[in-house]
Amino acid sequence: METLELLDVVVLTEALPKTNLRKGELGTIVEVLDKDVFLVEFADTKGVTYALPTLTAHQLMKVYFEPAGV
């Protein structure tokens, strides 16, 4: 598994019905709480936060915007 860090953009790998989050939603890690525990902000296109759950690394996948080696 790959290391996740502060301000990484991540995608949710499972639905979280209690927080109305769907699998595949994009968020940003805004706090590292423990080795594999993160506070993740989910915001709309206007930048308004709609969810701020504490998630574990197995619930997240890092998103890349450039090919490897660039």
Question: Phi and psi of 68, rounded to 5°?
Answer: -60, 140
Question: Is 4 inside any structural domain?
Answer: no
Range of the domain at 40: 9-62
Q: Cα 48 from chain centroid? A: 16
Residue found by looking up tokens 């525990």 in the block: 37
% pLDDT > 70, the chain: 97
Total tally of structural domains belonging to the chain:
1
The whole-model pTM stands at 0.90
What mean pLDDT comes out for the span 24-38?
Answer: 97
Q: Is residue 2 part of a domain?
A: no
Between vectors from CA 33 to CA 61 and to CA 36, what angle results, nearest 5°? 40
- C-alpha to C-alpha distance for 34 and 65, rounded to whole angstroms: 26
In a domain, 32, yes or no: yes
* Predicted confidence band of residue 31 (pLDDT cuts 50, 70, 90): very high
What is residue 13's DSSP assignment? S
For 15-38, what is the mean pLDDT?
A: 96
| 22 within domain boundaries | yes
pLDDT of residue 2: 76
Q: What is the CATH number of the domain that holds 35?
A: 2.30.30
- Look at residue 40 and tell me whether its pLDDT is greater than 90: yes
| 28: in domain | yes
* 69 part of a folded domain: no
Neighbour count for residue 70 (Cβ, 10 Å): 6
